[in-house]
Amino acid sequence: MTDATYQMLWDCKFCGQKKLLGLTHRFCPSCGGPQDATSRYFPPDAEKVAVENHPYVGADIACPACEHWNGRASKCCGNCGSPLQAGKDALLRQDQVHAEGVDAPTDTAQAAHQDFQVPGTAPKPVSNPPEKRSHLGCFLSIIAVVAVLALGIFVMFAWKRTGAFEVVGHSWERKIEIEAYGPGRKTAWCDEMPGGSKELSRRKEQKSTSKVQDGEDCQKRRKDMGDGTFKEVRECSPKYKEVPVLADRCDFEVMGWKTSRTLSQKGTSLKDSPSWPRVDLAKTGTCVGCEREGKRTETYTVRFVETKTKKDTSCDTPQSTWSTLAVGKQYQGTVSVVGGSVNCDSLKPK
């Protein structure tokens, strides 16, 4: 961490002498004109003049009577003798920030008048990292793609038209899954294997990533002290990179329940009243080859013909609705334009 003090520069507005020293030359060495605190600027790197053991007392103060600039320690104006209590502090130049190893941005007395720091606001860095902007561009294009996809899906599901339909048939299906107990092969992180598992093999795989420090980014900040000097401070922040974190992945055998077969019962008319398939289990209990009942599912489908287009269509409903839609009855309802299936919930008798 270096923290050095250097002289600001100023140009004499009376004789045109350039690059006078902010601290050493309170008056122009060629014409004797007084230094104007508002015309100071930062020097190029090659022309920096260091200040050793400089006692800093504060920013210069302007005489309220004659506007002559005085050092902060003065009680009365060096030009006219007026008291300085009511005088204004010298405004400070915006901090100059630049990446380490790059020359400081060019500064001139003309630019100096335009970028004084407004007291109480944070100084803005001179260079913006261009990386931020490209991330934003990437982010916006992802949003655009997602929006188009969402719109497409919305149109597929929401785009409907109305039509008239006649019921032409019914069908139903009831299923029961049968699970068998026995050894099954699974893969998991080795430290998450359930108790009683038999390990078959293990290997290294990437489980996550972690951030580790990878050097640092440094910049130099020049701070106008307001008394003809500036401080140059080196500011560094750590850089990070992501590295893979490996862990043991295991293939193992474990005893458990697994769907081994599915029983199904079907019907094709309202007259076949729905029933569950008969369940015959090989053996009950918990043994290799034992069986138990798993998930039950039921589906009730009504088939229609659209009156106008003569096209077949169908939809699934709860059993209570399904049993009330008799063959030959006419209904008004909506049908999705993409896919062409009728919406059972929209049906109203004609």
- Residues engaged in binding Zn ion (CB under 5 A): 12, 14-15, 17, 28, 30-31, 33, 63, 65-66, 68, 77, 79-80, 82
| Minimum CB distance to Zn ion smaller for 74 or for 79 | 79
Shortest distance (Å) from residue 133 CB to Zn ion: 45
CA distance 341 to 43: 77
Tokens of 348: 């109203």
User: Which DSSP category does 122 fall into?
Assistant: P
| Minimum CB distance to Zn ion smaller for 30 or for 127 | 30
Shortest distance (Å) from residue 37 CB to Zn ion: 13
Cα–Cα distances in angstroms (integers) from residue 46 to residues 23, 42, 50, 103, 340, in the given order: 18, 11, 11, 9, 77
Q: In 3-state terms, what secondary structure has residue 151?
A: helix
| Minimum CB distance to Zn ion smaller for 78 or for 105 | 78
Closest CA to 107 of 278, 227, 222: 222
| Minimum CB distance to Zn ion smaller for 17 or for 314 | 17
At 257, give phi and psi (nearest 5°): -95, 135
Shortest distance (Å) from residue 98 CB to Zn ion: 31
Shortest distance (Å) from residue 102 CB to Zn ion: 33
Q: Which residues of 210-245 are buried (b: 16+ CB within 10 A; e: fewer)?
A: eeeeeeeeebbbbbbbbbbbbbbbeeeeeeeeeeee
Shortest distance (Å) from residue 5 CB to Zn ion: 25
Tokens of 75: 């009680």
Q: In 3-state terms, what secondary structure has residue 316?
A: strand
| Minimum CB distance to Zn ion smaller for 66 or for 102 | 66
What residue type is 159 in one-letter code? W
Shortest distance (Å) from residue 32 CB to Zn ion: 7
| Minimum CB distance to Zn ion smaller for 108 or for 324 | 108
